[in-house]
Amino acid sequence: MIDRRLILTTPVPPFRGRGLKIIEMDLLTPEFGLFFWTLLAFLTVFFILRKFAWKPILNMLGEREKGIADSIATAERVKSEMSQLKAENEKLLAQAREERTAMLKDAKETRDRIVGEAKDQAKVEANKIIIDAQAQITQQKNAALTEVKNEIGSLALEVAEKILRKQLNSADGQETYMKMLAEDIKLN
């Protein structure tokens, strides 16, 4: 246990004798003089601080409070602007996706249309080529047939001419041939 008394050791003046003097002080029940001087010192410091430091401190605290309030308001405004910008960005992204989908759909339709037109045109061209080829084949066939007929006709004439020459080489053959021609003319 701690003793509540404060022991001060000071040398005793020479006229009072030698030794240490023990002074007791009770800290829980201060004396009136100590209370008065402490109160006077406190009030003096309080009035000096109130006169010279209180207003600047309050002004600084007010400015700080205002700055903090402004910062909070700015942060709230920025937060609302950011959420608004985020919503606008989402809207623009959705719109861009829709436009991309529409463009892809249009491109696919255009591709299908072009491919269909190309197929139709290819079919028309193929049919035209087939018809032209068939016409050329028919024409060449007819030309070949005509040429073959002409060749056959010329060969038949040559063969007939050779046969007639052989038969007409003799006088008997020439008379027989003239009679036959005369009969044919009479019949016609």
Residue pair 6/22 in contact (Cβ under 8 Å)? The answer is: no
Q: Specify the pLDDT at position 19.
A: 55
Q: Confidence band (pLDDT; 50, 70, 90) for 6?
A: very low
For the record, the structure tokens of 88 come out as: 């606008």
Q: Specify the pLDDT at position 12.
A: 46
Residue pair 159/165 in contact (Cβ under 8 Å)? The answer is: no
pLDDT tens digit string along 96-129?
A: 999 999 999 999 999 999 999 999 999 999 999 9
pTM metric for this prediction: 0.38
* Residues sharing a CB contact under 8 Å with residue 168, sequence separation 6 or more, in sequence order: 174, 177
Q: Of 6-15, 33-42, 82-91, which gets the smallest average pLDDT?
A: 6-15
**Beta-bridge partners for 11:** 20
Q: Which helix (H) or strand (E) holds 161?
A: helix 55-168
Domain boundaries, the chain: 10-187
Q: Specify the pLDDT at position 35.
A: 86
Closest Cα partner for 108 from 120, 97, 116?
116
Q: What is the mean pLDDT of the chain?
A: 83
**Beta-bridge partners for 21:** 10
* Residues sharing a CB contact under 8 Å with residue 9, sequence separation 6 or more, in sequence order: 20, 21, 22
pLDDT tens digit string along 14-67?
A: 545 555 555 555 666 778 888 899 999 999 999 998 888 888 888 999 999 999
